[in-house]
Amino acid sequence: MTYTFNETQMAELNRLVARYPEGKQKSALLPALHLAQDSFDGWLPTELMDYIASLLKIEPIEVYEVASFYSMFNLKPVGKFIFEVCQTGPCMISGSDDIIAYIQEKLSIKPGETTKDGVFTLKLVECLGACGYAPMMQVGKIFREHLTKEKVDSIIAEYRATVTN
Amino acid sequence: MGVKLLLDKANVPGIRTYEVYRREGGYRSVEKALKEMNPESIVEEVKKSGLRGRGGAGFPTGMKWSFIAKPEGVPRHLVCNADESEPGTFKDRYLMEFIPHLLLEGLIVSSFALGSHDTYIYIRGEYAWITDILEEAINEAKANGWLGKNILRTGFECNIHVQRGAGAYICGEETALIESLEGKRGNPRIKPPFPAIQGLWQRPTVVNNVETLAAIVPIINIGGEEYAKIGVGRSTGTKLISACGNINKPGVYEIDMTISVEEFIYSDEYCGGIKGGKQLKACIPGGSSVPILPANLLLKTATGETRYMNYESLSDGGFATGSMLGSGGFIVLDEDQCIVKNTLTLARFYRHESCGQCSPCREGTGWMEKILHKIEHGHGTIADIDLLWDIQRKIEGNTICPLGDAAAWPVAAAIRHFRDEFEWHINNPVLSQTSNFGLQHYADPIHVPA
């Protein structure tokens, strides 16, 4: 499959590149990969990384080594919504274990897996900087905080509704 | 009520917008700095203020600024470290989310002092919605003449750009942050050369934490000497503390560093005591990498003195009986918390975040996690405790960047202060899976239960 940014996406890429001095366009790599991941299927297939390399005039390997280093870049297909649940110390002492177990039970998936309908992926992550509002998870751009089992139920229903409607 | 310099206006409705922020006296420090001061005098004020880096290391900011090289014809850069990732720390997030213009104001003054015309905010990738808030604030500031060319008709040009990271604790280390900003893996650089000589794109660069740069605003407004009068000793000014864990009122608090740890935990003005009327067991007072302290050493020093919320008092006793103020990530553990499990989650964190460059950290963090996992799940041996101790000692000081130390310290402190809890786990492999070691002799020396 080949990938091409539309006009809006290309304009955004050019805005990102323009922040850096002439010849330092590689600096735009992380933001460009976010843009690529958000613009297509939520993950970075090799062809998409190659496309970004060609746009930034760098070698594909320079993109692969970066994409594989940062935890927010997905190198495998993911569901429409990713529940990224924090499991680090402050969340753990505030009850994240129970929340993680509950989500697994509700969605019938283990961490790293995607539901059969392709809607939800469960990912366990390390500290996201919401320790005072624990337990928490990130879904897309948003932090869902002070999680309880009831809250998890309503969050799942909320996202499921956006798919079925 | 203590003095507030950063969050004094945090509750004013609409303070996130330029209009309200300006009406409340915002951007005065830019007027003062650009019209009445010069870069050298600003650096002098910052030196006089005694401000120390608020990211965790506590290095004097004025001194850091004075190191920046000024070779002819080479651009210099200020980079704001908004990669806040130390477990327990969420103060910069609060500041950027609710008073974004305070950071921008500090950045403009600091950029002027350092001669940076293109200043970058490197924000952790997960704070995606805050990136939008900052971009919006930058647009407002630009539209009102505080950014761009010829600011206040002084000829000074400054642009601020926000760059998102993508999930890597290591990028909070300043040279890893610079690598990431150059579009590379976040591998810390070998120093020297220091960023002040060769930083971003090999140009002289200063990297400062969000809170540090925000503190420049009150320093310019009230003057370095007045700022230095707040606080105590070398802990001048105010500090943001993000409090979390088993307390009644988790959140971000601005303190003037003269209050005691006891007041901070139990006063209704701050944490409001331990949740559910439980007993305090332990606390990690400055972000997950600083040594954990049992309640008895937290509230009083080993010599029985009251412990205060500042750089010197929290480190009183060194690592043997003290800890650090660090980033201000204040994690409170109640009587029901298991030290072995807590240490395991932190060991897993550091293993996950090790960049893999240095063998002691890459291998050592993995081994520490495995051994702690073994002990936590009832398969440990007494020799494992000594092995853990041995591994952490071989990591500390033997890596390019401080992540190695950050991974070693929590394990060392847990064993140092809670060795009997580790032994109990090992000697009670079945019982430890369903019950808890409890408080034992670590109890709060002040609030003894009836």
* pLDDT band with cut points at 50, 70 and 90 for residue B307: very high
Q: Which domain holds residue B386?
A: 339-440
* pLDDT band with cut points at 50, 70 and 90 for residue B309: very high
DSSP string, B262-310: HHHHH-TTTT-SBGGG--EEEEEBTBTTSPPEEHHHHHB-TTSPBPBSS
Mutate to test the interface with B, among A37, A93, A100, A125 (most CBs of B within 10 A): A93
Element (H, E) at B346: helix B339-353
**Of B302, B317, B334, which one is at a domain's C-terminal end?**
B334
Residues B221 and B111 in one domain: yes
Spell out which residues of chain B touch residue A63, defining contact as CB-CB under 8 Å: none
The reply to whether residue A93 touches residue B333, judged by beta carbons under 8 angstroms, is: yes
A114 belongs to a structural domain: yes
Residues B202 and B101 in one domain: yes
Count of the separate structural domains present in chain B? 3
Percent of chain B with pLDDT over 90: 96
Q: What is the pLDDT of residues B60-79, one digit of tens each?
A: 999 999 999 999 999 999 99
The reply to whether residue B166 touches residue A134, judged by beta carbons under 8 angstroms, is: no
Q: How many contacts, defined by CB atoms under 8 Å, are there between A and B?
A: 148
**Of B229, B263, B282, which one is at a domain's C-terminal end?**
B229
Q: What is the pLDDT of residues B181-225, one digit of tens each?
A: 999 999 999 999 999 999 999 999 999 999 999 999 999 999 999
At residue B448, the pLDDT reads: 66
At residue B442, the pLDDT reads: 79
**Cis ω on the peptide bond leading into residue A135 (within 30° of 0)?**
yes
At residue A81, the pLDDT reads: 97
In contact, B68 and B195? CB cutoff 8 Å: no
Residues B292 and B343 in one domain: no
At residue B1, the pLDDT reads: 58
Average pLDDT on B410-418 reads 97
The mean of the pLDDT values for chain B is: 96
**Cis ω on the peptide bond leading into residue B193 (within 30° of 0)?**
yes
The reply to whether residue B352 touches residue A28, judged by beta carbons under 8 angstroms, is: no
ipTM tops the 0.95 cut: yes
Residue B94's nearest CA partner among B268, B215, B251 is: B251
Count of the separate structural domains present in chain A? 2
Spell out which residues of chain B touch residue A131, defining contact as CB-CB under 8 Å: 87-90, 242, 244-245, 250, 329, 331
A75 belongs to a structural domain: no
* pLDDT band with cut points at 50, 70 and 90 for residue B286: very high
B411 belongs to a structural domain: yes
Residues A18 and A58 in one domain: yes
Q: If phi over 0 gives left and psi between -120 and 50 gives alpha, with beta otherwise, what is residue B88?
A: left
Spell out which residues of chain A touch residue B182, defining contact as CB-CB under 8 Å: 24, 26-27
At residue B438, the pLDDT reads: 86
At residue B449, the pLDDT reads: 59
Average pLDDT on B94-121 reads 98
Shortest Cα distance, chain B CAs vs residue A160, angstroms? 22
CATH of the domain at B428: 1.20.1440.230
The reply to whether residue B182 touches residue A24, judged by beta carbons under 8 angstroms, is: yes
Average pLDDT on B17-32 reads 98
Residues B308 and B411 in one domain: no
Phi, psi of B67 (to 5 degrees): -80, -15
CATH of the domain at A13: 1.10.10
CATH of the domain at B293: 3.10.20.600
Separation between Cα atoms, residue B83 and residue B71, nearest integer Å: 29
B6 belongs to a structural domain: no
Q: Which of A31, A127, A129 faces B349 most closely, judged by CB atoms? A: A127
Angle, helices B382-395 vs B403-427, to 10°: value is 170
Residues A145 and A98 in one domain: yes
Phi, psi of A17 (to 5 degrees): -65, -35
At residue A164, the pLDDT reads: 72
Q: What is the pLDDT of residues B120-177, one digit of tens each?
A: 999 999 999 999 999 999 999 999 999 999 999 999 999 999 999 999 999 999 999 9
At residue B443, the pLDDT reads: 75
Q: Which of B88, B126, B184 faces A66 most closely, judged by CB atoms? A: B184
